[in-house]
Structure 1
Amino acid sequence: MGTFLGHLLPGSFFILYASWHMFSVFTKYFLSQRALATTRDQGGTGSSGGGGSPSTPYYRSTCAHVFPCCPRIPMEGIVKIVLTTIGFLGELITAFEDGVFVHYGNAQHMTMYFAFGLSGVFDIKVSRGPRPALPNLDYVALAMAFAMEALLFGYHLHGRTPLDVQVHMLMLYTIMLCAVATIVEMAYRRSVLPALMRAFFVMLQGTWFVQIGSILYEPLTSPWDENSHSQMMLATVLFCWHCMGIFLLMAFVGWLLNSRVKRMLGTSSVYCQLERRLEKGSATCQEALQLTEE
């Protein structure tokens, strides 16, 4: 990762990952709220009755989200495994010089890629296989991946300049908050705020990865003075602007998706869209709505 491209690639992955989760969480939440309001308007009781009315679809967070185009295939876990494998192999290949493993920083990056790849394996296991003996293993694996990434970042700063240390410490705090948000989401699956909090911090991690690359390797700007206090203050200001910008972006996307769901016509359309965004890709809307109550 000792280049701008080395920071751009993982940053882009986290930005895309967070964007996908933000879109999925907002859509599933607004669909659930719309279906709940529809059921109440029709005098539903919130459970399957003798007349065959569907269960009331309350929102429920999931660690990974299905692709509506292929709900029976755990695409998110597959994409995680493929991308982290590419990153792992890239770090492994570039770690050698004259046949000797000399770049030990690459070993840290390889460990990080492996941890997130393992998270993808558990995403697939939880979504495709029988219910595991221990619940929420996909959440635990993802939280562990963030925790390991934070640990690796914390011991990645020896001998660096003050500005370099500062921007990486801001990244360290962000990664720790990603792990905390994942654990909180696991504990409060019925609340949408922890899921959005996880998307927020993952996107912040991605944009700050790119910002670190631009500060330390200046592909388009003049070099930063890495020993200047004023430059360190500017870096902190940039971090705050990243936070505010992502918050405003998420608010705007939420408003757009809420407006889109409100414009949907027909109760069946709402229910079936909700079905496609549930983690198991059930065969019927009736089964989909029942899954939200499990």
Structure 2
Amino acid sequence: MGTFLGHVLPGSFFILYASWLMFHVFTKYFLGQRAVAGTTTRENGSSPTAYKSTCAHVFPCCPRIPLEGVFKIVLTLIGFLGELITGFEDGVFVHYGNAQHMTMYSFFGMSGAFDILVFRGLRAPPNLDYITLIIAFAIEALLFGYHLHGRTPLDIQVHMFMLYAIIFCAVATAIEMMYKRKVLPALMRVYFVMLQGTWFIQVGSILYMPLTTPWDENSHTHMMLATVLFCCHIGGVFLLMASVGWILSRRVKKMLSTSVYCQLGRRTDKSKMTQAEALDALGDSEEEV
């Protein structure tokens, strides 16, 4: 990972993963809002619940196949093999930093494997897919925390920003696991995964600038500029998500009711759905904590 390409690869993985999550969370939320629109309240006076989080999401075109877990395994395997191959010199494995990166990829691959097992009805304690994803983020944070010895001030700073984003990924995933009927925790996970991905690529461009003059890694001015850039990423990701949410809300708003139930059916492994079935599939019961 000590190259520009080595930062682009995991950064692109996290951006793609966050984009996938963002599309499904927003779409599922707005479809749920359409499905419960006009329904009566419960006997206790509360409104029907219109959203329920899941750790992994299905492809609407093939809801019977856990493709998200498959893609996690494939992409992390590519990263693992890349780190393994580049870790050797003259037939001897000498780049032990690569071993840390391989460990990180392994745990995210494990998360993908449990996504598949849970999808296939693994008889295990609930939320095992969430737990393995939280562990993957925690391991990544641990590896980054002990990955900075002997580095320059700027190098340490940009990696500490990365560490903050990773920690919040784990925290957001844990909150989402506990409050599945709230959309904001799910969007928090999307936000910090996206932030981690964009900052991964930014770190690569700062430390291994491929096209322009490299940054002065001991310059206080450049350290302040890096802080400004991180703040720009924080704001940019928020604006991106707000824009995508607005676009998807408009798209769902224009859909026919029959299309809404059809879309919900595809996301819950059913070909057709009535409004009552849609509410049931969304988890129309008391909030889980």
Give the aligned length: 278
Which residue of 168, 176, 180 corresponds with 2:171? 180
Q: Which amino acid counterpart does residue 262 of structure 1 have in structure 2?
A: K
Q: Tell me, yes or no, if the aligned pair for 1:35 and 1:57 is still in contact at 8 Å.
A: no
Find the counterpart in structure 1 of residue 64 from structure 2: 72
- Report 1:1-294 matches (<5 A): 1-38=1-38, 40=39, 58-130=50-122, 132-265=123-256, 267-278=257-268, 281-285=269-273, 289-293=279-283
Root-mean-square deviation (CA, aligned residues, Å) is: 1.6
1:65-124: CA deviations, max 9, x gaps?
111111111000000001111111111122122221111011101000000000000111
The unaligned stretches of length 5 or more in structure 2 are none
Q: Tell me, yes or no, if the aligned pair for 2:262 and 2:271 is still in contact at 8 Å.
A: no
Q: Tell me, yes or no, if the aligned pair for 1:80 and 1:117 is still in contact at 8 Å.
A: yes
Where does structure 1 differ by over 4 angstroms across 4 or more consecutive aligned residues? 43-46, 286-289
Q: Tell me, yes or no, if the aligned pair for 1:57 and 1:290 is still in contact at 8 Å.
A: no
> By how many angstroms is 1:58 displaced?
2.3
- What secondary structure is seen at the aligned counterpart in 2 of 1:285? coil
In 2, Cα distance between equivalents of 1:186 and 1:59: 13
1:177-236: CA deviations, max 9, x gaps?
000000000000000000000000000000000000000011122211100111000000
TM superposition score normalised by structure 2: 0.92
TM superposition score normalised by structure 1: 0.91
